[in-house]
A and B are shown apart, each in its own frame.
Chain A
Amino acid sequence: MRLLFVHGRAQGGKDPNALKQVWLKSLEEGLAIAGTSLPTGVTVDFPFYGDVLDAEVERLAAPNRNEVSAMGSGENDAYSRFMVSVLTEVQKNASLSDAEIRSEMDSDVGAMGPENWEWVQAIVKVLDKRFPGLTSLTFEVFLRDVFLYLTSRTMRRKINKIIEAELTNEPTVVVSHSLGTVVCYDILKDRNFQNVKGLITLGSPLGIKGVSGHLGLLRHVSPKREWLNAYDERDIVALNPLDEEYFPVNPRISNNNRLKNKTDNRHGIVGYLDDPSIARKIVEMMS
């Protein structure tokens, strides 16, 4: 039996072995609280695509924070639409009032076009204030990387190849985080990896409509495979549950929104893997 960890973004330049130990340490904390342990003989693998992601982002000359404003004016209208879509969804979900957002706008003069980029930027500013530990830079850059993964076939192919290589004949439970959940879904939805015994997505952006809209008609990765989606409701990345409204698939995905992530931005993996319910579920899927 194998346990496969699939990490998210912002891991480039780090030591994969050290990262793997961080994940394992958190999981062991959760296992200890749950009073259980991994079955004997379990191997743990940590495919690492952090450097490839960074290289691809650089290759695609992706916009940085400053460039995002310019892109909003239409230089990359697909990216602009994506950002507008996600951030307006965030506004709705986080109950950010129009007045609150308007107060963050630099000018009283608002364009009346369909995409008022200043409005979108103001949403980001409100998010800065509303969510302690979440910098707008992090969320914007996160969305940028997700967007590029969704829209660049080359990036997708390169990253997917790294993960797919780890999907061997051995029975495997996949635990993925953040952008890694999108990568795992993209791989598993099209190929019937019989030996994947379960999928756990943590802090997943798959419920964001702007993200799922790029994934075609949604489907369960396999009706016979258990899929647990778990998150902290304060995690802005995990904006929505993977339920009938936001991720309509059959059979339905199990959602657990009761996690309390201890990290500053409520999104870090160590704040998810140390939860005893997650540790327990991993053990259950392996048995």
Chain B
Amino acid sequence: MKRRAAVVIGVNAGGGLTPLDSAATTAQSVAQWLNSVEPGYDVVLLNDAGLTISGTSEDPKAVSVTDINKAVLKFATSPPKYELMLVYYCGHGLYEARSDVWLMNAAPLVPFEAVNVNGSADLAQDSGIPTVVFISDACRNATSNLSLSELSPVNIFPKHNDIPTSVSKVDRIGATAKGDEAYEMPIDGQKQPLLSYALRKAFSDPDPNMVIEVPLSEGVRHAVPNRRLEAFLQRTINNAIDAAGLDINQRIHVSIPSADDIYIAMVAEPAASAPSSNVKTRGDPFGPNISSGPPERTTKPGTTKWYSAGKGFGFNVSDNNEDIFISMSAIGDNSDQPWQDADSSENLNFDSPPDLPGHFESECGLTVTGARIKRVAGKYGSSKVTYLNPEQTDDEAGLIRAWDLNHASEVAVELADGRSFLLPLLEGYLGHVTVDIRGVSKLNYMPADTNFRWHQFSEKRGRIERLRSHLTVAIDEGRFTVESKEQADWLGNEIRSGKALDPVLGLFAVWSYMEAGRRDRISSVRQYMRQDIEADLFDVRMLSRRTPDAEDDEYKLIPACPILTQGWALLESREQILPHSLKEGGRFLENSLFTTFKAGFADDLFEYILKE
């Protein structure tokens, strides 16, 4: 038995979409490579090479979710046998409602012949295998030919109750950013998917400064750690596209919470020059395309200094021991711009509109900007909710006042265009909702200016609003990662304001901690929020544990479904059961950051809020 395992999947004809040429053969090639590299892999290859008719599960050459489940279960055992497990997929992918899906041959004819990638990666965090790597060489966009509502994607990792939670790091390497396409194209006379081509090249022809030394009993070998792959992969893909003279773009998406010395394979030959000994930070801390270095670190101890570069932003955090630069959201076509002091930047877009009320008589409510409201309702028997300006024009914010929350409750809102959402109402807070064409794009909760929290909040208001604004963009674009203890500490401290914690920042923090595999921090945020709002936000409770806790009964769960759309993909892996009327909500999700239901679901939503 080897110490590493890989499930390699290649599906040309998935999802009833136009068959690909190279997915099956590339998977075969990747499997052969993993069989030959050091350290060795136990490999299961699943591909549909030779499939004669697309869209069938009856052809023995078809790849099914059951095949994948069996293969994963063979390696993801309890107790774990492997130090690293790699799950590679090449084929058609779908990204809708902020959920990644891999499409097998019989999809969508058989709705569950699709893999819930986010849910599977979530379960892999509890596999006990120290490192699990997901490589997805697939599109991440929606298609007019197929909708998530036609599919019931399945998680492929098992749940082992005898393994304590959150012991595995899950690295993810995706062929493209969310909403974009990945490509296969002729390279070196052979059609190849770009990410897979670049990945192989990273181990056959790496840059000297990518490799690290791996001391073995038989001598020193060299490897490319996962954290140093991103810039090389992106550049190799860009070069291949340029060489073909194509006017396309493929920006990879990489998230590497594993340690600096974790690698997929050793390189074929020692690098030409001496490897770099600097493994302190990931290969390019500013993302793949920003060439300028970090700003000079002149931050005074105990302070935070903000910088921006196009759509990206970063900040220097300094304590008495170390200066830390954290960068986020470093993507977009302005990414070559140099980092500049963001405190004076005009690009910053703070969240709290100046002309909205600072409080209602009740000290609680919601404002909705960007769309007219059709109807609102508070939770039956839990609060009184009033729509204050039913004559609202397109330019005005809708004003919703809430009374008698008993700490916290929830409100359902249907917009004039039929879309709807369910959000928390928090005693002493005014929620500000911004709706755009995608749905609810911004959300913040500010203490009412008559509330006791206001004084503490106002002292940190600039920082909180700046952080919230940046995090909204960063999380929306999937570029926010917490990579170190120092960053986790900083985030934890920054989101607090005195004894209170900005609920939306708390929400963002738990999602960031979850992706970084830092669940102890999630529990900490939950406890902190309980002290303040005396309730659990749905996402916070969902991410803090997989099974119910007796203490949960002491706190309201609000709202009754995920606040961030990406939470819907984790309902099964987190064993969450929604109220009956909301169960079909996952089929009506917009692609917005915050859960927004498409037209057609509002009656179910109001059925829930008024009757369940």
| A residues with CB within 8 A of B | 73-75, 77-78, 80-82, 84-86, 89, 114-115, 151, 209-210, 212-218, 244, 246-248, 250
A74, B548: Cβ atoms closer than 8 Å: yes
B1, A248: Cβ atoms closer than 8 Å: yes
Q: How far is the CA of A212 from the CA of B164 in the complex (A)?
A: 10
Q: How far is the CA of A146 from the CA of B369 in the complex (A)?
A: 56
Within 8 Å CB of A250, what residues of B? 1
Question: Which residue of B130, B164, B545, B575 is within 8 Å of A217 (Cβ)?
Answer: B130
A213, B79: Cβ atoms closer than 8 Å: yes
Most buried by A among B164, B545, B551: B164
A216, B128: Cβ atoms closer than 8 Å: yes
Q: How far is the CA of A213 from the CA of B163 in the complex (A)?
A: 4
Within 8 Å CB of B79, what residues of A? 209, 212-213, 215, 218, 246-248
B547, A81: Cβ atoms closer than 8 Å: yes
Most buried by B among A114, A215, A217, A244: A217
Within 8 Å CB of B161, what residues of A? 81, 84-85
Instruction: Determine if B162 is an interface residue (Cβ-Cβ < 8 Å).
Output: yes
Given that A213-B162, A217-B80 are known contacts, is A74 also in contact with B549, CB under 8 Å in the complex?
yes
User: In chain A, what residue has the closest Cβ to B83?
Assistant: A217
B549, A78: Cβ atoms closer than 8 Å: no
Instruction: Determine if B185 is an interface residue (Cβ-Cβ < 8 Å).
Output: no
How many interface residues does chain B have, given as a range? 20 to 34
User: In chain B, what residue has the closest Cβ to A150?
Assistant: B164
Q: How far is the CA of A114 from the CA of B81 in the complex (A)?
A: 26
A77, B130: Cβ atoms closer than 8 Å: no
B575, A114: Cβ atoms closer than 8 Å: yes
Question: Which residue of A74, A210, A215, A218 is within 8 Å of B550 (Cβ)?
Answer: A74
Closest chain A CB from B262 CB (angstroms)? 13
Q: How far is the CA of A115 from the CA of B83 in the complex (A)?
A: 30
Q: Which of B136-178 contact A (CB under 8 A)?
A: 160-164, 167
Interface string of B125-140 (1 = CB under 8 A from A): 0001110000000000
B548, A77: Cβ atoms closer than 8 Å: yes
Given that A85-B161, A216-B128, A216-B130 are known contacts, is A209 also in contact with B549, CB under 8 Å in the complex?
no
Given that A73-B550, A74-B547, A77-B547 are known contacts, is A209 also in contact with B81, CB under 8 Å in the complex?
no
Interface of B is mostly: loop
Interface of A is mostly: helix
User: In chain B, what residue has the closest Cβ to A89?
Assistant: B162
Within 8 Å CB of A81, what residues of B? 161-162, 547
Closest chain B CB from A238 CB (angstroms)? 16
A217, B128: Cβ atoms closer than 8 Å: yes
Closest chain A CB from B340 CB (angstroms)? 45
Closest chain A CB from B90 CB (angstroms)? 28
User: In chain B, what residue has the closest Cβ to A248?
Assistant: B81
Instruction: Determine if B250 is an interface residue (Cβ-Cβ < 8 Å).
Output: no
A77, B164: Cβ atoms closer than 8 Å: no
Question: Which residue of A75, A114, A213 is within 8 Å of B78 (Cβ)?
Answer: A213
Q: Which of B511-556 contact A (CB under 8 A)?
A: 545, 547-552
Closest chain A CB from B542 CB (angstroms)? 14
Closest chain B CB from A172 CB (angstroms)? 25
Given that A246-B79, A247-B79 are known contacts, is A213 also in contact with B164, CB under 8 Å in the complex?
yes
Q: How far is the CA of A216 from the CA of B79 in the complex (A)?
A: 8
Closest chain B CB from A155 CB (angstroms)? 16
Q: How far is the CA of A60 from the CA of B418 in the complex (A)?
A: 54
User: In chain A, what residue has the closest Cβ to B163?
Assistant: A213
Q: Which of B264-300 contact A (CB under 8 A)?
A: none
Interface string of B17-41 (1 = CB under 8 A from A): 0000000000000000000000000
Closest chain A CB from B68 CB (angstroms)? 22
Closest chain A CB from B550 CB (angstroms)? 4
Q: How far is the CA of A89 from the CA of B79 in the complex (A)?
A: 13
Within 8 Å CB of A114, what residues of B? 547, 575
